[in-house]
Structure 1
Amino acid sequence: MGHREDLLEGAKRCLLEKGYARTTARDIVAASGANLASIGYHYGSKDALMRQAFIASSEEWGASVVQAPATDDGAEKADADPLERFAAVWDAFLQRIGAEREFIAAQVEVLGLLPRDAALREAIGEVLPEGSEGLVAVFEGVPDTEVDPEAARIVGSFYQALLTGLMVQSLLTPDAMPSGQDLAAALRRVTAGEVLQRK
């Protein structure tokens, strides 16, 4: 790897280990083995590099979370029943959320910075539609290219809202997280008016 790639990898490590706001340029240099001047040369500033590191980390995490979700009854059932697929995909997300607390903490930290950091807000806003499209593709089991823009805007926003909320909830009440089936039951109740059975 060249200095540009080394810096990005170092910044991604710092994002997990120190957080977005607490990472300094010297931290990135120590983590990457590059020199201080190369940050300005390749990225313009430490802040620009950290924005790129956050977006790259988020994209990599999203791409790796769900490959082929399955349920206890097998992938065929997930493919045949949209709610089963919904539950299976959320279980995959929830497993990663529970296992990668440093990544989740960085995500939630950045959310709190958005109102006061216009450049960060703009950078994330540019890739958010692609993230929404990817979520719809995963939940519907289709390639990204088959997701129409309106579905990405409306349904993708719904998935984004759920994912963000679950990330925050995982930091607040990690022992009280819902399962994929819990989320499917909630959706069933909301859409069909079904009453949840008391256990």
Structure 2
Amino acid sequence: MGHREKLMAGARRCLEERGYAHTTSRDIAAAANAPLGTINYHYGSKEALLNAAMLESINEWGTKVQEPPSDPVGEAPGSVGERLEAMWARVIASQTTHRPLLVAAAEALAQAERTPEVRAQIAEAYERARPRLAAELHGIADAEEPGTARAVGSVHMALVAGLTQQWLIDPEHAPSASEMAAGLRAIARSLDADADADA
């Protein structure tokens, strides 16, 4: 493994152990067992390396929590409600298994306001995730219904982000996957009633 790969691994380890704001260049170099100067040589700055490590970690986390279990023909089993609850359950489970990463991600997102390239990379990741969520959870193809796919994916991203924040801040009172489903069903019924009344 070369210095670049070692630095990335070291930065990811530091993010989980120390957090974004408290990681120094020396911390990363020590964790990577690499000379301090290699950070600037390979990544330009400590911040650029941390941002790259954060994005890589978040992408892996997102793939894991979105990944539906597959049956032998490769399709997610169960109803839409079952698929949603299964995804939310994976998000909730990750609050324990990936908590240090998620805390560091919250710190890093605050930095995105002052780092245009990080904002652009995060925005690009969001844009890729929207149609994927719509397709995997609802079978809505982006090519056939791009507006609907984007809207449905955006709602799911908002739900996942909100669920994650609630579990990070107040796990004792944060909703379960079944409570999320019950709440969404109630909202859908209210929206349907409004539509019927307006018809």
The whole-number CA distance in structure 1 between the counterparts of 2:137 and 2:95 is: 17
The whole-number CA distance in structure 1 between the counterparts of 2:120 and 2:66 is: 27
One-letter amino acid of the structure 1 residue matched with residue 159 of structure 2: L
The whole-number CA distance in structure 1 between the counterparts of 2:20 and 2:56 is: 13
Shift of 1:80: 4.1
The whole-number CA distance in structure 2 between the counterparts of 1:180 and 1:138 is: 18
| CA RMSD across the alignment | 2.4
- For residue 183 of structure 2, what is the aligned residue in structure 1? 186
Q: Which moved more, 1:82-91 or 1:129-138?
A: 129-138
- For residue 197 of structure 1, what is the aligned residue in structure 2? none
Secondary structure at 2:77's aligned position in 1?
helix
Residues 142 and 150 in structure 2, CA contact (< 8 A), matched pair in contact too: no
Residues 166 and 174 in structure 2, CA contact (< 8 A), matched pair in contact too: yes
Residues 97 and 170 in structure 1, CA contact (< 8 A), matched pair in contact too: yes
One-letter amino acid of the structure 2 residue matched with residue 38 of structure 1: T
Q: Deviations over 1:145-166 (max 9, x none)?
A: x544434532222122111111
One-letter amino acid of the structure 1 residue matched with residue 79 of structure 2: D
Shift of 1:93: 1.5
Q: Aligned pair in 2 of structure 1 residues 139, 68: CA closer, same or farther (>3 Å)?
A: same
TM-score (normalised: structure 1)? 0.81
One-letter amino acid of the structure 2 residue matched with residue 131 of structure 1: A
Structure-to-structure mapping, 1:123-162, within 5 angstroms: 123-140=121-138, 146-148=141-143, 149-162=146-159
1:60 aligns with 2:69: no
Q: Aligned pair in 2 of structure 1 residues 35, 104: CA closer, same or farther (>3 Å)?
A: same
Give the share of equivalent positions with the same residue, in percent. 41
- For residue 99 of structure 2, what is the aligned residue in structure 1? 101
TM-score (normalised: structure 2)? 0.81
The whole-number CA distance in structure 2 between the counterparts of 1:14 and 1:141 is: 39
Residues 17 and 102 in structure 1, CA contact (< 8 A), matched pair in contact too: yes
The whole-number CA distance in structure 2 between the counterparts of 1:109 and 1:152 is: 30
- For residue 196 of structure 2, what is the aligned residue in structure 1? none
Residues 136 and 155 in structure 1, CA contact (< 8 A), matched pair in contact too: yes
Secondary structure at 1:79's aligned position in 2?
coil
One-letter amino acid of the structure 2 residue matched with residue 25 of structure 1: S
Secondary structure at 1:175's aligned position in 2?
coil
The whole-number CA distance in structure 2 between the counterparts of 1:127 and 1:105 is: 19
1:13 aligns with 2:10: no
One-letter amino acid of the structure 2 residue matched with residue 12 of structure 1: R
Q: Choose which of 154, 158, 163 in structure 1 pairs with 2:160.
A: 163
Q: Deviations over 1:131-188 (max 9, x none)?
A: 333433442479xxx5444345322221221111112111221112212211111111
Q: Give the number of equivalent residue pairs.
A: 184
One-letter amino acid of the structure 1 residue matched with residue 43 of structure 2: Y
One-letter amino acid of the structure 2 residue matched with residue 94 of structure 1: I
- For residue 3 of structure 1, what is the aligned residue in structure 2? 3
Q: Unpaired runs of 5+ in structure 1?
A: 71-77, 195-199
Q: Aligned pair in 2 of structure 1 residues 110, 152: CA closer, same or farther (>3 Å)?
A: farther
Secondary structure at 1:193's aligned position in 2?
helix
